[in-house]
Structure 1
Amino acid sequence: MADTLWGKGAALDAVIHRFTVGDDPVVDLSLAPHDALGSAAHARMLAHVGLLKQDEARALVKALKGLHDEAREGRFTILPEQEDGHTALEAALVERVGDAGKRIHLARSRNDQVLLAVRLLLREELLALGAGAVGLAESFLDFAQQHAQVAMPGYTHLRRAMPSTFGMWGMAFAEGLLEELEALRGVWGRLDRCPLGAAAGFGVPLPIDREYTAKLLGFSRVQRSPIDAQNGRGRHEAAVLGWACSVAGTLEKWLWDVQLYSTDEFGFLGLPDAFTTGSSIMPQKKNPDVVELARGRCRELRGIAHQVEAVAGGLPSSYHRDFQLLKRPTLAGVTSARALLDVLTRLVPVLQVKADAAARACDDTLYAAHHAYVLVAGGLPFRDAYRQVGRELADGTFHPDRSALTATHLGGAGNLGLAQAREELAAARGWLDDTHRALAKAAERVWAD
């Protein structure tokens, strides 16, 4: 069995080893490129403060760049007998640069090493999720603009309520995503602090420069308290997954609508064949499996987020091995969220609107409130107008003028606010692009010769 980073020469029980290692040799493959980047920044900091020779730091950074690229390309391996990615990374460094590889762990613990790797991964994933939300919001805006004047019933309690349009319907989900993109900035602020230097949760008695490492890696600040850095395990994962769940909550409603409106009984929407599957027994079936599975992903995300909260909750302060169990669900959650955004961005532009069927469902009763407002415009108090319309509906004499009133206020059917929404979306995209470029430049500085 390979030497562990914490081993002191005593024999390891194979069963205990397997239990404590768990699935880290697989899960840590996703963290490996981030671990390599964080380790390179750490090596540069050690040389910066004189705890490592400059030539050793250069050799380590060069070797770590190679390992980073191998991990990105899926060529980095973690052997089953190795405990985790940290052991595999350090072993590879020793193999490639000799004794300098044994010095990389000076002034850090696996605790802040994995904290940093997870933080770097979460930064990358949050930006990717934000980009996915921007792309999907743009698809909804395009849909809303294309179908701005196409009538459909508006529903409350799943009963016909007031006139609406497919433009209003599509715009609702663009607006929801724009709000989530505003909230993303707050989640980013929580991630934008570097935990490296916390070590096991109490700092190290060495003259390290935490601000230097933070700046190298593109963080705006240091996570000051070493104890809080460990207490934050699960907190930041939950923040990212909580944001993804909030996005999913908006999308779940759209998916429910699509499922309902595309039934034969409604017939307002059609799904392209590419987004349906067949039945093994009923030749006529075109099942909306993509819609149903995407809807299931929304609920799955909530379950994953609850798992992270359950593992991290109920613990005293500082580090506990329970935190190891946070990695797998966190990775599963961000992967599921990215897949959800990607497939819906493909579906929205090809969703088929069946305007005739929707128009047939827009009967006179939808205009009851509109007619009451017409009566109010003629001087009748609203409560009296409300009762008069009710009587006309009951005795069959209700015949509204459908063209009498149109909602021209911001957000109404006659003024969706598409231009403002596109401006907000452009600003969100700009922030994401600028942040992504800043992190890419930071990584270039870490890897520079």
Structure 2
Amino acid sequence: MAAPIWQKNAQANIDQVIMDYMAGEDIQLDKKLILYDIQASKAHVRGLESIDVLDQQECEQLLAKLDQLSAEIHSGNFQLSEAFEDCHSAIECYLVEQLGELGKKIHTGRSRNDQVLVASRLYLKQSLMEARGLVENAINACINQAEATRSVAMPGYTHMQRAVPSTCGMWFASFAEAMIDNLMSLDAAINLIDANPLGTAAGYGVNLPLNRELTTKELEFARIQLNPIYVQNSRGKFELAALSALSQCLLDIRRFCWDLSLFTTQEFDFVELPEEMTTGSSIMPNKRNPDLIELMRASYAVVQSATIELQSILSLPSGYQRDLQLTKGPLIRAVTKSLQTLQLFPQVIEATRFKTDRLKDAIDTPMYATDFAVELSSQGMSFRTAYQQVVERYAELDDRSPEQSIQQRTSPGACADLKLDLLKERFERLCLLL
């Protein structure tokens, strides 16, 4: 590892085992953050020029080298390695190597504390925007499926027992509405994160009139995060907000995948997944396993475990504490897993094909009992009396059909009136607000 940028005595011995322990996973994790750190460094350089800490020529040289570093990262010619403590030191070392003393000016008025905070916020903001787009794809897929299957009868379940006739359209529409709600959660998290911490240094500001309005505009943040102490105290807090929004998405995906896991069993046999979404057994030639669905179902656990890890770390006093370094790993792993799962979800929705004959065969006569009870109560009989009478009159249910039951379910949002137009309107309003 190169000499740490914080080392004061160049002759002092540094225990490499201790340094490796303190650096931890940062070099691997910072591969996700370095381009955001460069973006923030460019804004910082322009801010320093605006208050005459750098002249125009110095500013242009630094910006050119930062752009050069970005290009080298994209091309693979520059790799973060164990030679560096973290991405912040890697950027500074690169600039010093390229520009000498001028490269050392880059750190004027900032700390690695506000560097990691601004890079993390930029990373999370872009990640949540990406998640938002993937959720929109899932909503469109669910609505399309709901429209295509609005009249396809399927059994509805409560307590895992057959309850009343339902439709595939209603099942798909339930996930469309869930994901529309999740858009609101993502938007709330984006709004919380959309604040610029750059210029607060290690948590107490600096004795320079830093142009924080300029850097906020350069980085396309909605507002300045003002109080330097709160900037440090917010670390972990805004990450938890992001994980909470992502977990809401994965919670619904988990339920969707749980349903598919059941529906693809031979006992249900309601759904057949495409072969590319299943795998074979290593020992049993007769089997196809829904491994993709099961792994997507498990992804919620990754986000939940990261949430618990962050919450446990955040039992801290005010100000920066090195414990906070350990929030980076669970955060990045959870965000990465969330985006991978959300990327696949629309494909799974589109590939879900119900076996209509199997669904209809699973609707048996007792499932019409609730319809009969409601009919009797609508004719003036109290519902409790109707409920009791239906138990005695099951024979009168024999001539009913799933189609008749579905057509009679006219309450708003139910099988005969899915209100898909209203769901589309809500969805479109949320898209316009972005």
Q: TM-score, normalised by structure 1?
A: 0.92
- Once structures 1 and 2 are overlaid, which stretch shifts more, 191-200 or 91-100? 91-100
Could you give the per-residue CA deviations for residues 45-101 of structure 1, whole angstroms, max 9, x where no partner exists?
Answer: 010111111111111112112222333454432231321111110111122233221
Question: What does residue 82 of structure 2 align with?
Answer: 80
* Alignment pair present for 1:250 and 2:252: yes
Cα distance in structure 2, aligned partners of 1:73 and 1:384 = 76
Q: Does the 8 Å CA contact 1:33/1:67 hold for their aligned counterparts?
A: no
Cα distance in structure 2, aligned partners of 1:202 and 1:400 = 78
* Alignment pair present for 1:300 and 2:302: yes
Cα deviation for residue 283 of structure 1 reads: 0.7
Question: What does residue 187 of structure 1 align with?
Answer: 189
Cα deviation for residue 145 of structure 1 reads: 1.0
Question: What does residue 225 of structure 1 align with?
Answer: 227
Q: Does the 8 Å CA contact 1:32/1:71 hold for their aligned counterparts?
A: no
Q: Does the 8 Å CA contact 1:279/1:286 hold for their aligned counterparts?
A: yes
Question: What does residue 70 of structure 2 align with?
Answer: 68
Tell me the C-alpha RMSD between the 2 structures.
Answer: 1.6
Cα distance in structure 1, aligned partners of 2:31 and 2:426 = 37
SS of corresponding position for 1:154: strand
Cα distance in structure 2, aligned partners of 1:72 and 1:146 = 43
Cα deviation for residue 29 of structure 1 reads: 1.5
Could you give the per-residue CA deviations for residues 198-232 of structure 1, whole angstroms, max 9, x where no partner exists?
Answer: 11100001111212211221112111110010001
**Equivalent residues in 2 for 1:201-280 (5 A)?**
201-280=203-282
Residues 370, 397 of structure 1: CA spacing in aligned structure 2 closer, same or farther, 3 A cutoff? closer
Cα distance in structure 1, aligned partners of 2:372 and 2:161 = 19
Question: What does residue 425 of structure 1 align with?
Answer: 427
Q: Does the 8 Å CA contact 1:371/1:401 hold for their aligned counterparts?
A: no
**Equivalent residues in 2 for 1:49-198 (5 A)?**
49-198=51-200
**Equivalent residues in 2 for 1:306-385 (5 A)?**
306-311=308-313, 313-385=314-386
* Alignment pair present for 1:15 and 2:22: no
Question: What does residue 4 of structure 1 align with?
Answer: 4
Could you give the per-residue CA deviations for residues 3-56 of structure 1, whole angstroms, max 9, x where no partner exists?
Answer: 211101222111111111112121112111000000000000010111111111
Amino acid at match of 1:86: H
Amino acid at match of 2:332: L
Cα deviation for residue 158 of structure 1 reads: 0.2
Q: TM-score, normalised by structure 2?
A: 0.95
Residues 127, 69 of structure 1: CA spacing in aligned structure 2 closer, same or farther, 3 A cutoff? farther
Could you give the per-residue CA deviations for residues 377-423 of structure 1, whole angstroms, max 9, x where no partner exists?
Answer: 22212111111112224xx5544644276222321111212222223
Cα distance in structure 2, aligned partners of 1:75 and 1:427 = 44
Cα distance in structure 2, aligned partners of 1:74 and 1:334 = 23
Residues 74, 325 of structure 1: CA spacing in aligned structure 2 closer, same or farther, 3 A cutoff? farther
SS of corresponding position for 1:92: helix
Residues 154, 277 of structure 1: CA spacing in aligned structure 2 closer, same or farther, 3 A cutoff? same
**Equivalent residues in 2 for 1:398-409 (5 A)?**
398-399=397-398, 401-402=400-401, 403=404, 406-409=408-411
SS of corresponding position for 1:352: coil
Cα deviation for residue 288 of structure 1 reads: 0.7
Cα deviation for residue 352 of structure 1 reads: 1.9
Cα distance in structure 2, aligned partners of 1:294 and 1:78 = 31
Aligned-residue sequence identity (percent) comes to 38
Residues 264, 336 of structure 1: CA spacing in aligned structure 2 closer, same or farther, 3 A cutoff? same
Cα distance in structure 2, aligned partners of 1:411 and 1:24 = 49
Cα distance in structure 2, aligned partners of 1:355 and 1:70 = 55
SS of corresponding position for 2:284: coil
Q: Does the 8 Å CA contact 1:410/1:416 hold for their aligned counterparts?
A: yes
Cα distance in structure 1, aligned partners of 2:52 and 2:309 = 43
Cα distance in structure 2, aligned partners of 1:423 and 1:71 = 43
Q: Does the 8 Å CA contact 1:138/1:425 hold for their aligned counterparts?
A: no
Cα distance in structure 2, aligned partners of 1:140 and 1:274 = 21
Give the number of aligned pairs.
429
Q: Does the 8 Å CA contact 2:368/2:397 hold for their aligned counterparts?
A: no
Q: Does the 8 Å CA contact 2:281/2:287 hold for their aligned counterparts?
A: yes
SS of corresponding position for 1:2: coil
* Alignment pair present for 1:28 and 2:30: yes
Cα distance in structure 2, aligned partners of 1:52 and 1:142 = 56
- Give the gaps of 5 or more residues in structure 1: 433-449
SS of corresponding position for 2:363: coil
Cα deviation for residue 431 of structure 1 reads: 4.5
Question: What does residue 442 of structure 1 align with?
Answer: none
